[in-house]
A and B are shown apart, each in its own frame.
Chain A
């Protein structure tokens, strides 16, 4: 048990109060010191003992949809490493803190998503996630039984998020390269990593409510007021996630803090639901307006992406804000209007903020994303098939490597010798392949490879598989619906548009623009392809008894005939009368006539 500084100051206070009763003369001094201590405590709090920030980014998408991305970030300086028990919680949710310390988690990323992110229409999301549930966890290297801990952890998380995360070794894998720790710590031994997805998991209010309860202000104040499930789930895409990771406290990185990032991304199809009018407001989207920031938050901001509207020719944003912020987001230079909710002036005279954008024109010009991937199953027969993964590099002159990760369940039997990677009609040998074959009813296939995508090309990865006939009890209800196969994960460092933009040199000084600056040349992108729906051959579920009886009969026929021949010998016997004669004899017997 580590005695944390707030407790220390607390005991000091007590001591001080004890002394306080001694003399009146000391009272003034003491009360002064109490004030000093209290103010010190206040200052340590502000320095990041606990810190909570909330943020909403609203990006009008080129397709006419609206992308709203909430982020709630809680920072806490606590030591969970080495199985420490921490019992004093303030902003950080206790349920998650206990999960971290009990299961020795280093990093935890869980997302629950309804709908598929359409990269070709919407561009890149800020936090990518596959349809259904996704969970990946890095454990601390003190964990000995990783599989056991993983299965316990997933059960606990199922309870916390009201989801049915049935993850065990049958559907979880250990990717070797695609999922690296995002926080500090250089543990890269992938024995401590587990990754699993559930592509069929449906996300609903029951998952949102426990997620909202983890927020310091709940859904009572701040941006979380907007999170009304009846509106959030009436959307094209909904994704909620929780990310926990250790981060550095300061530049020296002497102490670590834990970061809890709760994100919620939602895409509203307003162009369709708005009766052809391209116009949206906070009230129209969330049926709420904002009145205050969360009182516990150190920062509470709304960003609206106005990059495509620099001269106000496309849309009008009201109320207008003088605050503009430029940033390089996903390789592109974007401009955002900023609304700071901690300022009283933001809410204006009505003391409520209802952002409103009204479009002037309805033409949309789409910038193609530089990296894009899609996947499908080929083959119509129930015996075998092919998985095709297409990866598009739309960069005009740069090639870049991508990591492709496939998690294929055991009931599709992959044949790795049929793996072919072609781009521009030529074989493109992956420079790295990590393949773990599946074991029936034990573990899935893991296929991970590093492929170089040539500029302006489509790279096709094909692999054959067999569809397996399962035992009749292994099929889910409605087996002819098919089996879901989770999304492939494409991870890459994509050369950024900013580095591509030669016009940028007009703005920068010449001495600075010869070598492209490091942090802007490329950016990390993780893409998820569509999940697959694969049909498997099915037995007839209605007749197990018949099958058992018929097969046993056939075996008995074989046994009987062999037994007959083995145990009997040929002997001279009476010739057996024919059937007609026997029937005649029966009739004759009844008539009382001697038989034939």
Chain B
């Protein structure tokens, strides 16, 4: 099993290295779909240049990375390409082991259920065979490494790759049951881009499930576990923030990083919903709609946790997808992260969704060219395609969610539901 993974890694690294050396690298690094004001490599270099000039990188409005990124690239700026390739490898390998571990558990659960004869008789075709599951970890790694979105964001040296690496390490630590590392990586991910905060619910549910702690608000063990995790999480977050303060000697990075994420002052076009909306917003409604839009990332956390409390890994996937759709400065790198989970479960309308996503990906540069370079189109063209792209993502996520829920329902109630009179019935959401 390690051999195909190694081969995959070699292919992925070769593609990236070749693109780094090609003339496309410059073109890719300029693409607004691939880099956002938060993650652009150009801005990291600018931050380092400002530091060299003796100006605080946060004095201006160019640099919005965290102080730890400055510190990291202060040493690694000459090895940036290797760093970014390494980050992608980390994501892929982490996903490989996450999915492998997750499959092991699914298989074990399935085995217990089969032994206890809990599945209805007609849904044996839904039960997954080891043969089926054998290639899923590799497919997940492949989906990440050979996904054009992740290749592009690696070649553009978007720091989104590093955030993805941190998030994937967090998922790995969680799935392996390491509470401390999970909390530390989650804190690091939150520190880097704020939104992964919502992933803590999935991690808590998973770790509790693993340690057989009941999710019950009346039980002391539940609160004790939550307190432990919160302590580790907040403690490591505090250490990181304090460390950043001591690195630069000022709190300037707080408004410049997190204020920038939340208040969306930079309206550079991207694949998200925010930029054109807030460019066209009436000034006195701005704050209201800012809250309405930002709340979308957080508002689904509790209902999803309730609905998916038996399936925390799927919950983490859902959260990742929601973050990448509703975050203020999304890039295709974020999408690549949750897409790596796609081989793990099943999907309904693969053809439709993939067609729309492909069409949008092709139209992004075309309409950008018409607007920005040729001047024969206007901002509405590009805006329209971001709308379609986001609808496609929502379709993808809700379909995936629907398929997952339906499979779980069938596993309990049988594949062919019957009415009371024995005739064939259909399933509807009510």
Contact = CB atoms under 8 A, between A and B. Distances in A.
Interface residues of A, number: 56
A189 to B, nearest CB: 18
Interface string A5-28: 000000000000000000000000
Interface centre among B45, B50, B276, B390 (most CB of A within 10 A): B276
Interface centre among A415, A417, A473, A543 (most CB of B within 10 A): A417
B30 A472 contact: no
Contact of B372 (A537, A554, A573, A575): A537
A570 interface: yes
Contacts of B45: 417
Contact of A559 (B32, B296, B413): B296
Interface in B410-430: 413, 417, 419, 425-430
B304 A382 contact: no
B281 interface: yes
A435 B372 contact: no
A570 B428 contact: yes
Contacts of A417: 45-46, 48-49
Given A417-B46, A433-B53, A565 B379 contact: no
Nearest to A464: B42
Contact of A540 (B50, B375, B380, B428): B380
Given A383-B372, A471-B278, A559-B296, A437 B430 contact: no
Contact of A471 (B281, B296, B429): B281
Interface stretch (B56-64, B97-105, B190-198): B56-64
B375 A382 contact: yes
A36 to B, nearest CB: 66
Interface stretch (B109-117, B224-232, B400-408): B400-408
A547 B277 contact: yes
A554 B289 CA distance: 14
B211 interface: no
Contacts of A554: 273, 387, 390-391, 394
Contacts of B428: 570-573
A175 to B, nearest CB: 16
A565 B279 contact: no
Interface in B37-72: 42, 45-46, 48-50, 53, 55, 59-62
A559 B299 CA distance: 10
B329 interface: no
B23 interface: no
Given A437-B50, A537-B379, A551-B387, A471 B417 contact: no
A384 B30 contact: yes
A573 B59 CA distance: 62
Nearest to B283: A473
B332 interface: no
A415 B373 CA distance: 21
B73 to A, nearest CB: 13
A437 B47 CA distance: 11
Contacts of B419: 572
Nearest to B269: A469
B275 interface: yes
Interface stretch (A201-209, A354-362, A438-446, A512-520): A438-446
Interface stretch (B180-188, B260-268, B339-347): B260-268
B131 interface: no
A548 interface: yes
Interface string A397-429: 000000000000010010111000000000000
A439 B60 contact: yes
A511 interface: no
Contacts of B178: none
Contacts of A540: 280, 378-380
A550 B387 contact: yes
A571 B46 contact: no
B20 interface: no
Contact of B46 (A416, A557, A576): A416
B59 A569 contact: no
B269 to A, nearest CB: 6
Contact of A436 (B55, B326, B409): B55
A557 B387 CA distance: 11
A382 B296 contact: no
B371 interface: yes
Contacts of B266: 440, 468
Interface in A465-498: 466, 468-473
A568 interface: yes
Contact of B406 (A471, A564, A570): A570
A566 B304 contact: yes
A253 interface: no
Contact of A565 (B267, B383, B401, B426): B401
Contact of A469 (B267, B283, B303, B390): B267
B212 interface: no
A187 B49 CA distance: 31
A395 to B, nearest CB: 30
A562 interface: yes
A470 B279 CA distance: 6
A469 B49 contact: no
Contacts of A557: 391, 394
B380 A543 contact: yes
Interface in B244-280: 265-269, 273, 275-280
B276 A551 contact: yes
B282 interface: yes
A471 B277 CA distance: 10
Interface string B12-34: 00000000000000000010100
B219 interface: no
A544 interface: yes
Interface in B343-387: 371-373, 375, 378-380, 383, 387
Nearest to B378: A540
B411 to A, nearest CB: 12
A569 B307 CA distance: 10
A569 B273 CA distance: 30
A202 B379 CA distance: 32
B251 to A, nearest CB: 16
B310 to A, nearest CB: 14
Given A417-B49, A537-B379, 13 more contacts: A381-B372, A382-B372, A383-B32, A413-B61, A439-B59, A469-B379, A472-B280, A544-B280, A547-B277, A548-B277, A548-B280, A565-B307, A570-B405
Question: Which 3 residue pairs spanning A and B have beta carbons closest together?
Answer: A437-B60, A417-B49, A573-B428
28 contacts: A381-B372, A381-B373, A383-B32, A413-B62, A435-B55, A436-B55, A437-B50, A438-B60, A440-B61, A440-B265, A440-B266, A468-B268, A471-B279, A471-B281, A538-B378, A543-B380, A548-B281, A554-B391, A557-B394, A561-B394, A562-B322, A562-B398, A564-B429, A569-B429, A570-B430, A573-B425, A573-B426, A573-B427
Interface of A: 380-384, 410, 413, 415-417, 433, 435-441, 445, 466, 468-473, 537-540, 543-544, 547-548, 550-551, 554-555, 557-559, 561-562, 564-576
